[in-house]
Amino acid sequence: MLTHSIKNKNPWDLSLHPQTRTKLQMLREIFDTWLTIWNSPNQQKWVAKEWYVIDLFAGRGWHEDGEKEVSGSPLIFLESIFSKVKKIKENNVRIKLLCVEKSNKDFKQLKVKVLKFIENHPEIKDIVLFDLHKGDCNEVSDRIIEKVEKSSKNPIFLFIDPYGINIHKDAIKKYLGLSNPIDVFFNYSDEGTTRTQGLALKQFPTAKEKKTVSSLETFIGKDVDYITTVQLLNL
């Protein structure tokens, strides 16, 4: 997914970052579908009972929408799991939620939010193991992967939502190299692309670099739209 963003001192304010609202809606719908599919009778015939959800840029766990709090990605995962808690329990499934956050301030807020959610929804304790890691996702990837059972029967949902280019190709390849069935939601703001293009043209204003920038636009596209399930039903 490619989204548009603007510079602002408060990246958590949805009124100033409407693309984030769309991203969160997409994540909720896609993850809910992921849970439904893996929890279906056909999949349950062969799939293992331990699944993994990995969030490499977990943030503080919540956003602002006026005076209202809106759940960020880790709480969206927990809310979606809770909405299906009965059936997940019946199938004896456990889900490891592995979250990474580099900012010390955001890390502390996220921990408080998650613990509060689990305290208010005790039914989820039996099926969710929450494992929060403070650090750069590029540096802790090996630690995260150690927590995963490497098997074609243990599914993974990987969420990557970096600011700019804050994840290395080698880190992504480590996850994609696992034998597990893995679904990846990669959200990338075109602000990062614009910033990178500008730097390339400023430092290397040659025909070759300009051609590279043009090729990048062709590959990514200048505009990407998203239609929600509700919009599809109303077409």
Dump pLDDT digits (tens) for 85-113.
Answer: 999 999 999 999 999 999 999 999 999 99
Q: CB neighbours of 201 closer than 8 A, spacing ≥ 6?
A: 209, 210, 213
234 has a pLDDT exceeding 80: no
192 has a pLDDT exceeding 50: no
Structural domain 2-190, CATH architecture: 3-Layer(aba) Sandwich (3.40)
What the block records as the tokens of 94 is 């456990």
- pLDDT score at 215: 44
pLDDT tens for 29-83 read 999 999 999 999 999 999 999 999 999 999 999 988 888 889 999 999 999 999 9
pTM of the model: 0.79
pLDDT tens for 7-29 read 446 777 777 777 888 899 999 99
- pLDDT score at 219: 41
CA 134, CA 140: separation in Å to the nearest integer?
A: 8
In the chain, where are the structural domains located?
2-190
pLDDT tens for 162-180 read 876 688 889 999 999 999 9
